[in-house]
Amino acid sequence: MKLFLVLILGQLINVISAELDEREMWIEQKLDHFNESDSRTWNMRYLSIDTFFKPGGPMIINVNAEWSLAANSPLCGLFYEIIQKFQAYAFQTEHRYYGKSRPVKNLQAENLEYLSLGQVLADLAHFIRHQKAAIPALAHSKVILIGCSYAGSIVTFFRKDYPELIDGGWASGAGLTFRLDFADSAVSVGKSLRKIGGDICYDRVEHFSKAYLRHKQRHDDVYTLLKEQNLAVNFDDIDEIIATHVQHRNLTTMQKICKNITSVAENDFIGFGKLLELLMSKSASVGFKNETEFEETHIYRQYFYQSCSEFGNFFTSSSVHQPFGYKTPFSTVIAECQKLFGPKFTIDYISGKVDEMTRKYGGQEPQVDHIYFTKSEDDPWRWAGIIDECATIIPGIGHCHDLRAPKDNDSPELIAARQKGFDLIAEWINGNGTSRETVTKC
């Protein structure tokens, strides 16, 4: 799985207004926040924007997760509107072990120990305390966190662990469950294909997935031809390629993709391979799981480590109710943990960690207040997020698109969901504190 989880960043960076003064800065952090006698530190990267700040305004942080921090990114275009509207002192924080925030010298297995959710939340806590102390105008400011995808999970868990440091948050497309086998994900991708492109779109994907596996097993002429044309590699990644697009594309684009899929004849393996190649080329490269040197945009090894050590949620083809055949069995995915990170990572170990995380954070019913949850209707992550009744479900958009800058053709549902976010932020900023007054199952 190379692409599935990642925001598609590469093609979009750096187009918003140049006037915005977003300064790159660094803050010293402890390597291990939970060991008093370990004094090692490292420098975490962040961005600071005080362009819109008026005294009395809030501190608003766009939390970044498994990607490299980018100034002026349209992927978080709404953030710039929010900080302008609320006259905030704004920051963007980078997640340890990603981008340029490197607590250790490389990504060899023994250096990954300090890559854990607990350390990440503690980095954020230190960051907020430090800014409140260092910038007198922020001493009594309300604090609002915004995060998408895994960063949305961070925002949610931060409210659970450090309620005194956050007055409210917006979590878009946040995964909250921790389980070994996230088989629902491929099932959800299949359902979306059927809904968006009809049975024929689903059936065509299923046909090519299963037929390819047969040709590969037999090592026959079709397979040899695909190998020669360098197209077999795309079929090997078919589930990830299709899932990535279902996750990240909006409805109109997915309809076009289904049109392209169904226009390839059933016996045209070369044609389908080329289509997969085109889809593949529209996604950013995230590196390989076995790469032990830091590379600014490479995230795959780190994220896979987090999956093996705490998150689980492995994308598999365990269910028969999905279109990719028995392509990515759970056992082979999980065996990679041990191969890459050491003998400790047995299935029992991972299972224990995943259960521990679920007990700690509550899964789909995290019982937090002051967090606004948004989910995109066809995003496979919807099924790892908060229960639907506690979220605003937005149709027609991809993963986290609600946090992008508004566009003229945004749907009424999207416009209303954003308005609700603005209203809640106003309430939290004008409200009276961080007490947990409304603990519900949400």
Ligand X SMILES: *[C@@H]1O[C@H](CO)[C@@H](O)[C@H](O)[C@H]1NC(C)=O
Residues interacting with ligand X, by CB under 6 A?
35, 37-38, 250, 252-253, 256-257, 260, 288, 290, 407, 409, 432
Encoding tokens for residue 405?
């800058």
Q: How far is the CB of 149 from ligand X (least distance, A)?
A: 18
Decide whether 93 or 119 has the Cβ nearer to ligand X.
119
Amino acid (1-letter code) at residue 61: I
Decide whether 133 or 426 has the Cβ nearer to ligand X.
426
Q: How far is the CB of 401 from ligand X (least distance, A)?
A: 7
Decide whether 38 or 356 has the Cβ nearer to ligand X.
38
254: nearest Cα among 392, 377, 385: 377
Q: To the nearest 10°, report the CA torsion of 188, 189, 190, 195.
A: 90
Q: Residue 242: in which H helix or E strand, if any?
A: helix 238-248
Q: How far is the CB of 298 from ligand X (least distance, A)?
A: 12
Q: How far is the CB of 251 from ligand X (least distance, A)?
A: 7
Residue 393's DSSP bridge partners are 375
Q: How far apart are CA 159 and CA 163, in angstroms?
A: 5
Amino acid (1-letter code) at residue 352: G
Q: How far is the CB of 433 from ligand X (least distance, A)?
A: 7
Q: Residue 64: in which H helix or E strand, if any?
A: none
Amino acid (1-letter code) at residue 215: H
Decide whether 41 or 252 has the Cβ nearer to ligand X.
252
Decide whether 36 or 228 has the Cβ nearer to ligand X.
36
Q: Is 107 in a helix, a strand, or coil?
A: coil
Decide whether 21 or 427 has the Cβ nearer to ligand X.
427
Q: How far is the CB of 220 from ligand X (least distance, A)?
A: 24
Decide whether 252 or 332 has the Cβ nearer to ligand X.
252
Query: Is the distance from CB of 87 to CB of 319 less than 8 angstroms?
Result: no
Q: How far is the CB of 48 from ligand X (least distance, A)?
A: 30
Largest CA-CA distance found in the chain, in angstroms, rounded:
71
Residues 6+ apart with CB under 8 A from 98: 64, 65, 66, 67, 68, 299, 302
Query: Is the distance from CB of 278 to CB of 234 less than 8 angstroms?
Result: no
